[in-house]
Chain A
Protein backbone atom coordinates (compact mmCIF):
# COMPACT_ATOMS: atom_id res chain seq x y z
CA UNK A 1 0.00 0.00 0.00
CA UNK A 2 1.37 3.41 -0.93
CA UNK A 3 1.68 6.09 1.73
CA UNK A 4 -0.39 9.08 0.75
CA UNK A 5 0.60 11.33 3.66
CA UNK A 6 -1.37 13.33 6.18
CA UNK A 7 -2.51 15.88 3.61
CA UNK A 8 -5.03 13.35 2.35
CA UNK A 9 -6.69 12.84 5.73
CA UNK A 10 -9.39 15.50 5.98
CA UNK A 11 -9.38 17.86 8.89
CA UNK A 12 -10.68 16.78 12.31
CA UNK A 13 -12.53 20.07 12.72
CA UNK A 14 -14.66 18.98 9.79
CA UNK A 15 -15.70 15.88 11.74
CA UNK A 16 -16.66 17.99 14.72
CA UNK A 17 -18.71 20.35 12.59
CA UNK A 18 -20.43 17.46 10.87
CA UNK A 19 -21.21 15.81 14.17
CA UNK A 20 -22.81 19.00 15.47
CA UNK A 21 -24.92 19.16 12.33
CA UNK A 22 -26.24 15.67 12.91
CA UNK A 23 -27.27 16.62 16.43
CA UNK A 24 -25.81 13.35 17.71
CA UNK A 25 -24.04 13.32 21.03
CA UNK A 26 -20.53 11.82 21.21
CA UNK A 27 -22.00 8.77 22.93
CA UNK A 28 -24.68 8.24 20.30
CA UNK A 29 -22.14 8.63 17.51
CA UNK A 30 -19.85 6.21 19.31
CA UNK A 31 -22.53 3.51 19.19
CA UNK A 32 -22.88 3.97 15.41
CA UNK A 33 -19.08 3.96 15.03
CA UNK A 34 -18.85 0.85 17.20
CA UNK A 35 -21.45 -0.95 15.04
CA UNK A 36 -19.38 -0.20 11.95
CA UNK A 37 -16.37 -1.89 13.56
CA UNK A 38 -14.68 1.12 15.15
CA UNK A 39 -11.83 0.20 17.48
CA UNK A 40 -11.77 3.06 19.98
CA UNK A 41 -13.66 2.81 23.27
CA UNK A 42 -15.91 5.74 24.28
CA UNK A 43 -13.13 7.62 26.13
CA UNK A 44 -10.61 7.14 23.33
CA UNK A 45 -13.31 8.20 20.89
CA UNK A 46 -13.72 11.50 22.68
CA UNK A 47 -9.94 11.93 22.66
CA UNK A 48 -9.91 11.34 18.90
CA UNK A 49 -12.32 14.24 18.40
CA UNK A 50 -10.26 16.44 20.69
CA UNK A 51 -7.15 15.76 18.68
CA UNK A 52 -5.49 14.06 21.63
CA UNK A 53 -5.08 10.70 19.94
CA UNK A 54 -3.76 9.89 16.50
CA UNK A 55 -6.50 9.25 14.03
CA UNK A 56 -5.53 6.84 11.26
CA UNK A 57 -7.27 6.72 7.91
CA UNK A 58 -9.26 3.59 8.78
CA UNK A 59 -10.75 4.94 12.01
CA UNK A 60 -11.29 8.29 10.35
CA UNK A 61 -13.30 6.64 7.59
CA UNK A 62 -15.40 4.66 10.03
CA UNK A 63 -16.33 7.90 11.81
CA UNK A 64 -16.94 9.69 8.51
CA UNK A 65 -19.18 6.88 7.32
CA UNK A 66 -21.12 6.76 10.58
CA UNK A 67 -21.82 10.47 10.08
CA UNK A 68 -22.65 10.03 6.41
CA UNK A 69 -25.12 7.22 7.10
CA UNK A 70 -26.89 9.66 9.38
CA UNK A 71 -26.89 12.31 6.67
CA UNK A 72 -28.16 9.77 4.11
CA UNK A 73 -31.20 9.22 6.33
CA UNK A 74 -31.89 12.91 5.93
CA UNK A 75 -31.50 12.86 2.19
CA UNK A 76 -27.99 14.29 1.96
CA UNK A 77 -25.32 12.67 -0.16
CA UNK A 78 -22.24 11.80 1.88
CA UNK A 79 -21.13 15.33 2.77
CA UNK A 80 -18.21 14.19 4.94
CA UNK A 81 -15.18 13.43 2.76
CA UNK A 82 -13.19 10.23 3.25
CA UNK A 83 -9.47 9.80 3.83
CA UNK A 84 -7.25 7.95 1.40
CA UNK A 85 -5.72 4.82 2.88
CA UNK A 86 -2.33 5.38 4.48
Chain B
Protein backbone atom coordinates (compact mmCIF):
# COMPACT_ATOMS: atom_id res chain seq x y z
CA UNK B 1 0.00 0.00 0.00
CA UNK B 2 2.74 2.47 -0.90
CA UNK B 3 4.42 4.07 2.11
CA UNK B 4 6.56 1.81 4.30
CA UNK B 5 5.38 1.62 7.88
CA UNK B 6 8.48 3.29 9.31
CA UNK B 7 8.14 6.36 7.08
CA UNK B 8 4.45 6.57 7.79
CA UNK B 9 5.14 6.38 11.53
CA UNK B 10 7.87 9.03 11.28
CA UNK B 11 5.39 11.41 9.71
CA UNK B 12 2.80 10.64 12.36
CA UNK B 13 5.41 11.18 15.04
CA UNK B 14 6.37 14.55 13.63
CA UNK B 15 2.75 15.62 13.45
CA UNK B 16 2.13 14.51 17.02
CA UNK B 17 5.23 16.33 18.25
CA UNK B 18 4.10 19.56 16.70
CA UNK B 19 0.57 19.22 18.02
CA UNK B 20 1.69 18.44 21.53
CA UNK B 21 4.15 21.29 21.50
CA UNK B 22 1.35 23.66 20.66
CA UNK B 23 -0.80 22.07 23.34
CA UNK B 24 1.88 22.56 25.99
CA UNK B 25 2.09 26.25 25.23
CA UNK B 26 -1.67 26.65 25.51
CA UNK B 27 -1.81 24.66 28.74
CA UNK B 28 0.77 26.64 30.59
CA UNK B 29 -0.83 29.91 29.73
CA UNK B 30 -4.50 29.43 30.54
CA UNK B 31 -5.98 25.99 30.37
CA UNK B 32 -6.93 23.74 33.22
CA UNK B 33 -6.16 20.08 33.63
CA UNK B 34 -9.65 19.10 32.49
CA UNK B 35 -9.26 21.05 29.29
CA UNK B 36 -5.96 19.31 28.63
CA UNK B 37 -7.62 15.95 29.10
CA UNK B 38 -10.56 16.81 26.86
CA UNK B 39 -8.28 18.10 24.13
CA UNK B 40 -6.19 14.99 24.29
CA UNK B 41 -9.16 12.71 24.13
CA UNK B 42 -10.42 14.42 21.03
CA UNK B 43 -6.97 14.20 19.54
CA UNK B 44 -6.73 10.48 20.28
CA UNK B 45 -10.00 9.93 18.48
CA UNK B 46 -8.80 11.89 15.44
CA UNK B 47 -5.40 10.26 15.39
CA UNK B 48 -6.63 6.65 15.26
CA UNK B 49 -9.01 6.11 12.35
CA UNK B 50 -12.23 4.23 12.99
CA UNK B 51 -12.45 5.24 16.64
CA UNK B 52 -15.99 5.48 17.97
CA UNK B 53 -14.92 6.75 21.35
CA UNK B 54 -11.72 7.61 23.18
CA UNK B 55 -11.06 7.98 26.87
CA UNK B 56 -8.32 8.86 29.28
CA UNK B 57 -8.03 7.57 32.81
CA UNK B 58 -5.69 8.99 35.39
CA UNK B 59 -4.64 7.44 38.64
CA UNK B 60 -4.80 10.06 41.37
CA UNK B 61 -4.36 9.37 45.04
CA UNK B 62 -4.55 5.65 44.35
CA UNK B 63 -7.90 5.90 42.62
CA UNK B 64 -8.55 5.33 38.94
CA UNK B 65 -10.60 8.17 37.56
CA UNK B 66 -12.09 8.10 34.13
CA UNK B 67 -11.43 11.73 33.56
CA UNK B 68 -12.10 12.47 29.94
CA UNK B 69 -14.03 10.88 27.11
CA UNK B 70 -15.23 11.79 23.69
CA UNK B 71 -18.74 10.57 24.34
CA UNK B 72 -20.39 10.73 27.67
CA UNK B 73 -22.13 7.43 27.71
CA UNK B 74 -20.22 4.59 26.14
CA UNK B 75 -16.68 5.31 27.18
CA UNK B 76 -17.21 6.02 30.88
CA UNK B 77 -19.40 2.94 31.17
CA UNK B 78 -16.86 0.70 29.49
CA UNK B 79 -14.06 2.18 31.60
CA UNK B 80 -15.90 1.97 34.88
CA UNK B 81 -16.57 -1.67 34.17
CA UNK B 82 -12.84 -2.31 34.22
CA UNK B 83 -12.40 -0.72 37.61
CA UNK B 84 -15.46 -2.39 39.09
CA UNK B 85 -14.49 -5.81 37.78
CA UNK B 86 -10.83 -5.15 38.47
CA UNK B 87 -9.89 -6.49 35.07
CA UNK B 88 -9.65 -5.09 31.61
CA UNK B 89 -7.20 -4.09 28.89
CA UNK B 90 -6.48 -0.66 30.42
CA UNK B 91 -5.63 -2.07 33.80
CA UNK B 92 -3.41 -4.67 32.17
CA UNK B 93 -1.83 -2.01 29.98
CA UNK B 94 -0.90 -0.06 33.11
CA UNK B 95 0.33 -3.10 35.01
CA UNK B 96 2.30 -4.58 32.13
CA UNK B 97 3.35 -1.23 30.69
CA UNK B 98 2.39 -2.14 27.14
CA UNK B 99 -0.31 -1.59 24.56
CA UNK B 100 -3.13 -4.13 24.40
CA UNK B 101 -5.30 -4.63 21.33
CA UNK B 102 -8.55 -6.52 21.10
CA UNK B 103 -9.79 -7.31 17.61
CA UNK B 104 -12.97 -9.00 18.67
CA UNK B 105 -14.07 -8.19 22.16
CA UNK B 106 -16.85 -10.77 22.17
CA UNK B 107 -14.44 -13.62 21.48
CA UNK B 108 -11.38 -12.38 23.38
CA UNK B 109 -10.58 -14.55 26.33
CA UNK B 110 -8.02 -12.55 28.23
CA UNK B 111 -10.46 -10.51 30.27
CA UNK B 112 -13.60 -12.61 30.16
CA UNK B 113 -15.84 -10.68 32.55
CA UNK B 114 -14.98 -7.32 31.06
CA UNK B 115 -15.27 -8.58 27.48
CA UNK B 116 -18.73 -9.93 28.11
CA UNK B 117 -19.91 -6.65 29.58
CA UNK B 118 -18.15 -4.49 26.98
CA UNK B 119 -19.47 -6.41 23.99
CA UNK B 120 -22.95 -6.07 25.49
CA UNK B 121 -22.36 -2.32 25.12
CA UNK B 122 -21.52 -2.87 21.46
CA UNK B 123 -17.76 -2.53 21.71
CA UNK B 124 -15.95 -4.89 19.38
CA UNK B 125 -12.45 -3.47 19.00
CA UNK B 126 -10.34 -1.81 21.60
CA UNK B 127 -6.84 -0.42 21.93
CA UNK B 128 -5.34 0.61 25.28
CA UNK B 129 -2.02 2.18 26.05
CA UNK B 130 -0.56 3.08 29.42
CA UNK B 131 0.53 6.65 30.10
CA UNK B 132 4.01 6.26 31.57
CA UNK B 133 6.13 8.80 33.36
CA UNK B 134 9.64 7.64 34.24
CA UNK B 135 8.46 4.10 33.71
CA UNK B 136 5.49 4.37 36.08
CA UNK B 137 1.90 4.40 34.93
CA UNK B 138 -0.05 7.59 35.68
CA UNK B 139 -3.07 6.41 33.72
CA UNK B 140 -4.17 5.05 30.38
CA UNK B 141 -5.54 6.17 27.04
CA UNK B 142 -7.93 3.97 25.13
CA UNK B 143 -9.93 3.93 21.93
CA UNK B 144 -12.99 1.80 21.24
CA UNK B 145 -14.84 0.83 18.08
CA UNK B 146 -18.14 -0.89 17.32
CA UNK B 147 -16.56 -2.86 14.49
CA UNK B 148 -14.32 -5.87 14.98
CA UNK B 149 -10.75 -5.87 13.60
CA UNK B 150 -10.81 -2.10 13.31
CA UNK B 151 -7.35 -1.42 14.73
CA UNK B 152 -4.05 -2.50 13.20
CA UNK B 153 -0.48 -2.89 14.30
CA UNK B 154 0.15 0.58 12.92
CA UNK B 155 -2.59 1.93 15.17
CA UNK B 156 -0.92 0.22 18.15
CA UNK B 157 2.32 2.01 17.39
CA UNK B 158 0.59 5.32 16.77
CA UNK B 159 -1.30 5.06 20.04
CA UNK B 160 1.94 4.21 21.85
CA UNK B 161 3.57 7.32 20.37
CA UNK B 162 0.55 9.39 21.25
CA UNK B 163 0.66 8.06 24.80
CA UNK B 164 4.34 8.96 25.14
CA UNK B 165 3.67 12.59 24.28
CA UNK B 166 0.45 12.77 26.23
CA UNK B 167 2.00 11.35 29.39
CA UNK B 168 4.57 14.12 29.58
CA UNK B 169 2.07 16.90 29.06
CA UNK B 170 -0.40 15.33 31.49
CA UNK B 171 2.19 14.72 34.19
CA UNK B 172 3.11 18.39 34.04
CA UNK B 173 -0.50 19.50 33.99
CA UNK B 174 -1.35 17.28 36.98
CA UNK B 175 1.57 18.66 38.99
CA UNK B 176 0.64 22.20 38.08
CA UNK B 177 -2.98 21.53 39.02
CA UNK B 178 -1.95 20.02 42.37
CA UNK B 179 0.23 22.99 43.13
CA UNK B 180 -2.60 25.38 42.22
CA UNK B 181 -5.05 23.56 44.46
CA UNK B 182 -2.63 23.48 47.36
CA UNK B 183 -1.86 27.14 46.85
CA UNK B 184 -5.55 28.09 46.88
CA UNK B 185 -6.13 26.00 49.97
CA UNK B 186 -3.22 27.58 51.84
CA UNK B 187 -4.27 31.07 50.82
CA UNK B 188 -7.71 30.43 52.28
CA UNK B 189 -6.19 28.88 55.40
CA UNK B 190 -3.94 31.91 55.94
CA UNK B 191 -6.89 34.27 55.73
CA UNK B 192 -8.77 32.30 58.36
CA UNK B 193 -5.70 32.05 60.57
CA UNK B 194 -5.24 35.82 60.36
CA UNK B 195 -8.86 36.41 61.26
CA UNK B 196 -8.61 34.19 64.32
CA UNK B 197 -5.24 35.78 65.20
CA UNK B 198 -6.80 39.23 65.17
CA UNK B 199 -9.68 38.08 67.37
CA UNK B 200 -7.23 36.58 69.87
CA UNK B 201 -5.28 39.85 69.92
CA UNK B 202 -8.43 41.84 70.63
CA UNK B 203 -9.41 39.55 73.49
CA UNK B 204 -5.88 39.60 74.92
CA UNK B 205 -6.04 43.39 75.09
CA UNK B 206 -9.66 43.79 76.11
CA UNK B 207 -9.71 41.02 78.70
CA UNK B 208 -6.05 41.09 79.75
CA UNK B 209 -5.41 37.49 78.77
CA UNK B 210 -2.52 35.52 77.34
CA UNK B 211 -2.87 33.90 73.93
CA UNK B 212 -3.90 30.50 75.21
CA UNK B 213 -6.64 31.98 77.39
CA UNK B 214 -7.87 34.11 74.50
CA UNK B 215 -8.05 31.03 72.31
CA UNK B 216 -9.90 29.17 75.07
CA UNK B 217 -12.41 32.01 75.24
CA UNK B 218 -13.10 31.79 71.50
CA UNK B 219 -13.23 28.00 71.76
CA UNK B 220 -15.67 28.19 74.67
CA UNK B 221 -18.03 30.41 72.69
CA UNK B 222 -17.69 28.05 69.73
CA UNK B 223 -18.57 25.02 71.85
CA UNK B 224 -21.43 26.82 73.57
CA UNK B 225 -23.05 28.10 70.38
CA UNK B 226 -22.02 25.20 68.16
CA UNK B 227 -20.50 27.49 65.56
CA UNK B 228 -16.93 27.49 64.31
CA UNK B 229 -14.21 29.53 65.94
CA UNK B 230 -13.65 31.38 62.66
CA UNK B 231 -17.26 32.57 62.73
CA UNK B 232 -16.99 33.65 66.36
CA UNK B 233 -13.85 35.54 65.36
CA UNK B 234 -15.53 37.15 62.39
CA UNK B 235 -18.43 38.27 64.54
CA UNK B 236 -16.06 39.77 67.09
CA UNK B 237 -14.21 41.70 64.42
CA UNK B 238 -17.40 42.96 62.90
CA UNK B 239 -18.55 44.25 66.27
CA UNK B 240 -15.26 46.11 66.64
CA UNK B 241 -15.82 47.92 63.39
CA UNK B 242 -19.10 49.41 64.63
CA UNK B 243 -20.06 53.04 63.79
CA UNK B 244 -19.74 54.44 67.37
CA UNK B 245 -16.00 53.80 67.33
CA UNK B 246 -15.49 55.98 64.24
What residues make up the interface of A, taking CB atoms closer than 8 Å to B?
31, 34-37, 57-58, 61-62, 65, 68-69, 72, 77-78, 82, 85
| CB proximity of B238 to chain A, nearest CB, Å | 19
CB 8 Å contact bits of B213-239 with A (1 = contact, 0 = none): 101100100110010111000000000
| CB proximity of A18 to chain B, nearest CB, Å | 15
Q: Which bracket fits the contact residues of B?
A: 20 to 34
Q: A34 touches which one: B193, B200, B215, B229 (CB < 8 A)? A: B193
Residue of B nearest to A30 (CB): B189
Residue of A nearest to B214 (CB): A37
Known contacts A58-B211, A65-B229, A69-B229; decide if A35 and B222 are in contact (CB<8 Å).
Answer: no
Known contacts A65-B219, A65-B222, A69-B222; decide if A35 and B189 are in contact (CB<8 Å).
Answer: yes
Q: A61 touches which one: B185, B193, B215 (CB < 8 A)? A: B215
Supply 15 A–B pairs (Cβ within 8 Å), ascending by A.
A31-B185, A35-B192, A36-B196, A36-B215, A36-B230, A37-B193, A37-B200, A57-B212, A58-B211, A61-B212, A61-B216, A61-B219, A77-B226, A85-B212, A85-B213
Find out whether the CB atom of A34 lies under 8 angstroms from the CB atom of B189: yes
| CB proximity of A9 to chain B, nearest CB, Å | 13
Give A65 to B226 CA distance when docked, in angstroms: 12
Question: Is residue B197 within 8 Å, beta carbon to beta carbon, of the partner chain?
Answer: yes
- Which of A34, A36, A57, A69 has its CB near the most chain B CB atoms (within 10 A)? A36
Residue of B nearest to A28 (CB): B185
Give A35 to B200 CA distance when docked, in angstroms: 13
Q: B226 touches which one: A31, A62, A72, A85 (CB < 8 A)? A: A72
Residue of A nearest to B200 (CB): A37
| CB proximity of A28 to chain B, nearest CB, Å | 9
Find out whether the CB atom of A78 lies under 8 angstroms from the CB atom of B223: yes
Give A83 to B223 CA distance when docked, in angstroms: 14
Give A34 to B196 CA distance when docked, in angstroms: 10
Residue of B nearest to A56 (CB): B212
**B189 contact set on A, CB distance < 8 A:** 31, 34-35
Find out whether the CB atom of A35 lies under 8 angstroms from the CB atom of B193: yes
**B219 contact set on A, CB distance < 8 A:** 61, 65, 82
Give A61 to B212 CA distance when docked, in angstroms: 9
Q: A85 touches which one: B197, B216, B223 (CB < 8 A)? A: B216
**B186 contact set on A, CB distance < 8 A:** 31
For chain B, residues 184 to 205, give those with C-beta under 8 angstroms from any C-beta of chain A.
Answer: 185-186, 189, 192-193, 196-197, 200
Residue of B nearest to A32 (CB): B189
**B215 contact set on A, CB distance < 8 A:** 36-37, 58, 61-62
Give A57 to B216 CA distance when docked, in angstroms: 11
| CB proximity of A66 to chain B, nearest CB, Å | 9
Find out whether the CB atom of B223 lies under 8 angstroms from the CB atom of A35: no
Find out whether the CB atom of B197 lies under 8 angstroms from the CB atom of A37: yes
**B212 contact set on A, CB distance < 8 A:** 57-58, 61, 85
Give A81 to B222 CA distance when docked, in angstroms: 14
| CB proximity of B216 to chain A, nearest CB, Å | 7
Give A41 to B189 CA distance when docked, in angstroms: 13
